Structure 1
Amino acid sequence: MNKNKMTMDILEKLSIKVTRGAYPGIEVKSVASNQVQSTQIFAPQVPKNDTKLLVVFTGSNLGFEESLSEAKKLKDLGYTIDVAISESAESMFGEERFRSLNPRSLYTAKDKMNYLEMVQNVDAVVVPIATQNTAIKLSLGLQDSFISMLLWQSLWQGKTLFMNMDDMTTHRGMEAKSKMLLQMMSGYVDKLKRLGVKPISTLNLSKSIHESFTSEKNSSIKFEGAIERPVITEKDILKRAAGDTITVPLRAIITSLAQEAAKNLSINIVRQNG
């Protein structure tokens, strides 16, 4: 038998197996070269990424499936994932639901005495769904549970903390009838932002976090040419992530709208010397 034909037959059979799902995650392409049809197999490449994240799940089922999906996307982007679950989350969903993420480590309340090590071994902490209870405890510095202790320690050690606070002014979709309670919760959210917590939304969690880590390390606003007194506008501020610190020239003019936007996003503007 012609050796070339034999080779093509083998590749064709392999292609059929792959197409039918015998080798998940492998893509088969046909390539024409010198009028001879050949088959090439391409395995998906996981992006190189040495960033380690601790994803913390609290006892809320609102947006839970979406949170798992976003955590999986972070893994696809090459992030190393550790998972910590509260007692409520463990009771509601069970450990196996979280093991589906194939985390490097899975921590539960029984591991709470190792909270220092958990935080030290990661670059950032992510809370896809924060309950009111979690937010209030963190804003007040209460450390009476596994998760509240873990989150406080992450801020204490200067780790970046991303948290979904979209539902802080509602409980299970219901807004408080008391204006005083709404004001209190808004106050807690503002305090968390001042503590350095970066707000995120579950729906674009993976995108927001990835953009945060891939953005320029230099946080200064740069201007073209020799501008003696550049103007910082609201547009300049809105380009930045909430909680950022940005550096502007000493004699820069900061518009009132820019100052208001910075205040709303808890952005700290620092004037550089010299």
Structure 2
Amino acid sequence: MNVNEALNWIIEEVIRRLEARRKKALVIFTGAAIGFQEAVPQLKALLAEGWDFKILLSNSAEYVLTLQLVKEQLGVKEIYLEREVKGLKPLYQDIGQVIIPTLTLNTAIKIALGIADTLTTNVVAHVLMEGIPIIAAKDGCDLKNPTRLQLGMNKTPTPYLMRMEQYLSTLESYGIRLVEASHLYSNIKDGQIAISSVRQSQGEPKTYTLNKKVLSRADIVEAKNRGNALHVPATTIITSLARDTAKEFGIRIIQE
């Protein structure tokens, strides 16, 4: 095996591992009931596409949602309970991202303030420091959520409302993507989490031009070292694997 072959093998192996990890997620349910029913079909759609979930219920989620309900709704057998977990690392090692389908206002505020006094907030703190993407459904922690307003919680003082919105903005400044529970699947599927921080930090795209008949994942890896946008001819065939790798690395493909 010559040097080029060895490098190509290494690249292929790295990408293979990235692809395997990309569909592994830690799913954390906190005790928010609002948004749960909307989040369930989103998670089931990901499971149907071969996603591998580690599911964790916080103490409040075990009480509000119940272990049995989550198992029945998602059709899974194994779920971690906060009161039984002995270590943090096994929960988030070898995962591609964290999904929080039900985020309580209490948990959101603690994360925003850097308070890590529960298993969920502790895990999130470690995940943030390791750069693992996090997406969370904001239905349960958004005081303007329609369901909350329909329940009569529509008399919130403006200063309090503004402060709570600031906490949610702080979460987004940490790189946590807040979406509606019914939009979890589309945001995860489109790869927006993985590439958002890359695009924000890189500003205007630095284009690398490549003239090839077929674009492979190895070409995407090469483009990553040369810029954050890849320009190819309109006739170039782009493999699905190349597109997925581009999303993983935050590479914009321009075809014209």
Q: TM-score range by the shorter chain?
A: 0.5 to 0.7
Corresponding position: 1:189 with 2:164? no
2:27–2:101 Cα contact (<8 Å) kept: yes
Structure 1 pair 111–187 and aligned structure 2 pair: CA distance change class (3 A): same
Q: Indicate if the aligned counterparts of 1:129 and 1:163 stay in contact, CA closer than 8 A.
A: yes
Q: What is the CA-CA distance between 1:105 and the residue it aligns to?
A: 4.6
Distance between the aligned counterparts of 1:157 and 1:65, measured in 2?
31
Q: Secondary structure at the match of 1:74?
A: helix
Query: What is the CA deviation profile of residues 138-186 of structure 1, one whole-angstrom value per residue up to 9, with x for unaligned ones?
Result: 0011111122222222212211010122442348332453111111111
Q: Secondary structure at the match of 1:183?
A: helix
Candidates 28, 33, 37, aligned match of 1:65:
37
Gaps of 5+ in 1: 1-47, 227-245, 249-274
Q: Quick one: distance in 2 between partners of 1:150 and 1:214?
A: 18
Structure 2 residue identity aligned to 1:188: Y
Query: Structure 1 225/138 Cα, relative in aligned 2: closer, same or farther at 3 Å?
Result: closer
More strand by share: 1
CA gap 1:214/1:124 in 2 versus in 1, 3 angstroms: closer
- Aligned twin of 1:179: 158
Question: Superposition RMSD on alpha carbons, in Å?
Answer: 3.2
Match of 1:149 in 2: 122
Secondary structure of the residue aligned to 2:32 is: coil
Mark the structure with the bigger radius of gyration: 1
| Larger relative helix fraction | 2
Cα distance in 2 between the residues matched to 1:56 and 1:122: 13
TM-score (norm 1): 0.58
For residues 183 and 147 of structure 1, the distance between their equivalents in structure 2, rounded to whole angstroms, comes to 25
Which of 32, 52, 70 does residue 24 from structure 2 map onto? 52
State the partner residue of 1:79.
Answer: 51
What is the SS of the residue equivalent to 1:143? Answer: coil
For residues 118-155 of structure 1, the C-alpha deviation after alignment (integer angstroms, 9 at most, x for no partner) is 01131100111211101000001111112222222221
Q: Give the alignment partner of residue 137 of structure 2, picking from 150, 154, 164.
A: 164
- TM-score, normalisation: structure 2: 0.61
> 1:235 maps to what in 2?
none
Greater relative CO (CA pairs within 8 A, separation 6+):
2
Q: Does the aligned pair in 1 maintain the 2:187–2:193 contact within 8 Å?
A: no
